[in-house]
Amino acid sequence: GNSVTQMEGPVTLSEEAFLTINCTYTATGYPSLFWYVQYPGEGLQLLLKATKADDKGSNKGFEATYRKETTSFHLEKGSVQVSDSAVYFCALRSGGSYIPTFGRGTSLIVHP
Amino acid sequence: DGGITQSPKYLFRKEGQNVTLSCEQNLNHDAMYWYRQDPGQGLRLIYYSQIVNDFQKGDIAEGYSVSREKKESFPLTVTSAQKNPTAFYLCATTGFNQPQHFGDGTRLSIL
């Protein structure tokens, strides 16, 4: 079956630091990959996505590249802000399936 | 604006009571989902529906029930059989080959 593994949190950084949150997956077929962000007390929001190998998704300074050879989709940002503090979820969806697979989420805390 | 509306935002349940959480969407999406989220935990799928008048159990369906009489609506009932209902409940929708969209959630607590 499909699975998504994210690095354990919390990840604690100072403002303007470089962020990496690791995500690896196993899947049948050729999945689409997603990063979602959840701010406290809210639902999940789609942050970025990639639908095929070597695609790079980007949004709001965040980036992730679909690496088929390493089955990874690591989230990066060059300079984090306090407002980036949230929980980040990596997810995949195999072609034709209505059921996505989510990682357990990684909490990011950014200090001023 | 297109979106997903969950209500109420906060809900309290008494012992032995059934409560119903509302989820309405105007995105014209076929599929709808209910997830449960516990503090510090990921998402667990309760039920999902790909089409009107049809729904499937997810990983933790015991103690919950749903209906899908209209494309726009997918209410979740937390029954008295669910002994530990305190959690954050999220409704989501999707179109074919599209990412999921989520509502803002309902927080259910026990009185």
Mind listing the pLDDT tens digit for each residue in B8-60?
A: 999 998 888 999 999 999 999 999 999 999 987 889 999 999 999 999 999 99
Of B42, B48, B103, the CB nearest to A102: B42
Q: What is the pLDDT of residues A27-86, one digit of tens each?
A: 988 899 999 999 999 999 999 999 999 999 999 999 999 999 999 999 999 999 999 999
Partners of residue A39 in chain B, C-beta under 8 Å: none
Of B48, B99, B103, the CB nearest to A49: B99
Residues 6+ apart with CB under 8 A from A97: none
**Whole-angstrom Cα distance, residue B6 to residue A12?**
32
- State whether residue A16 is helix, strand or coil: coil
Partners of residue B95 in chain A, C-beta under 8 Å: none
Instruction: Give me the phi and psi of B39, to 5 degrees please.
Output: -50, 130
Q: How many CB pairs under 8 A join A and B?
A: 47
